[in-house]
Structure 1
């Protein structure tokens, strides 16, 4: 199976995914506005430029920083206010088209700059800055005054003319460097928030994966398992493209590693083509699953695996061992107090003609009474709806394949003194 789609398809899927996220959340939710406003105020004060952040419609998302007194007075004149709004919108559009800061002369003769906020081709807004006179060569800058109508003659407004003459003067190269810095900062802030949204979407996909694996785990017939494998294919492709998007946004090796993990998990699903999987493949799947759970729950979990080399290519039904490792983490290790590290030990050996797998954890465990109740429920068919379905389902599957006396699943306290141990055994008669 081709795990990754073509570059064109992958880019299209990534763009659709990001677009759906930014559409649902908007720029406002992708920026820590309080933190950005403080940074915006500091940059404006340090550089002598006015600043405000707007969405793609031009609606302000932040308060204005160091707004020019000249511009405040000028915007009290209706025609000037209209021309100023046009100028801001025009500059933002040009910046979005270029995907770079765009400097220009505003209708009042000052120099402004629009810094676009663009994610995966989606224009989310802009940081508008400037309202300054500049020193240096500005011959290459577009004059927006040529695009507006009914602009006033400044000489006919003495108060405005005086404020204009007193307006701040900034070196044009300094303004350009400031705009580049602002773009770098705002892009990093937005992309970090976008990464968090992508991770949320990833965890939703993980939940879907668990549903697909559950079919392989509990399926009673071949057709049901085949259906699961077929449906997992598109799902996993979506998950891998999601992870690839995260890698692009994050630029982190950890995400690339996660992509490899999911690729191996996809391979596991398709390796179960004949209803069986090698013990080594099952172990690999368990290890990959633990890595995902560690990332999801941000918990330190150590895992030790010891498999008799001669058994690594022996075959078992898929998802025979995984449910017990998952249960050990969720019900045993995660409830541990504080930051206590979790540990899972898996040992697979052959004794007296039977393959034996022991899975032990150092989790919170259960009391003797709880263990006795579970054993009672497990032995009573009418109580199965109240019991640990993973134990019952796995034992039932093994008994169906290896015979009623050829397989067993036993739950006990961990011999090390803390946590639980599951002992799964079967006679490899096929």
Structure 2
């Protein structure tokens, strides 16, 4: 087993991906966010920092206090293994969510830089003392403090819980990278033990699900610019929270088809709000298969492709249909249909080749299908998997064949 103590956060997680996650979370919540290592030192650029905090950090002493404060907040949340809310040294309210992999604290995501409405925390900050201790102009501190967001405590609490789910997903990304770098080497040395190689490959495939799904979901929500003017804001945040929770808890499990469908309904709800009158969907699943088992997140990536690559580029109204058929009382076939832009014969052939290739392609449209195809074949065998039919300007239908498992 690999020793996680030897790793730093920036060594196991791609910093570009981490920056993308952090930026989108900050845009989604309209809160300042930063990711730090065990010592409280930032590993990527901060997102949406307030002018007040940026000013504080221009002071050598202020920067030192900020680092110490972030480290203490991260360590405390790590020990408790949950998000915590606290006052920073400069008087603002922050919260911290630990990034923990196999009980090893790698760092934390910190968020906030706000004043709590109920406590009127702005007025309790001793700016004169802060100015003297940090050698910062008092007038600049007063000016930048005025621009600090005032939010209700309940919003901070909900955002902290939401951030903790993000931190868990980041931890899973770390596991995926370690799995590839450490266990793959072990596999090469022990290829004669085929079962070991198979188990490691399954873990590697499953570990890819969360980052891929997370980026697509975040892109959807971030593009909606927090939806401050939407009446569906609360419902959307709850739906997204449930989706992320589902992907965290179940990505390596078999779940009831009914559970998978409930998760898909929430995803399609988010997308239907995003596209307003452009997207409709229909789900028709036989009631006698709802208690059957399938690998979690089997249908989700395929439906994402239908929406993002089929319906979104289309100018006219689009629809996604999800239906199930039982064959010979032994198999179930899911059909995921869209009336989107479709593909020509050459593009379809290329996609099918990539889908069945052992080499992972980087394009968003094929990676999700490749992951689902690999998982199905590893779980059930080569006689099961995915087939695709498509025509330009007509749409695409993806067929997923699985055994009936109760």
Which fold has the larger relative contact order, with Cα–Cα distance below 8 Å and residues 6 or more apart in sequence? Answer: 2
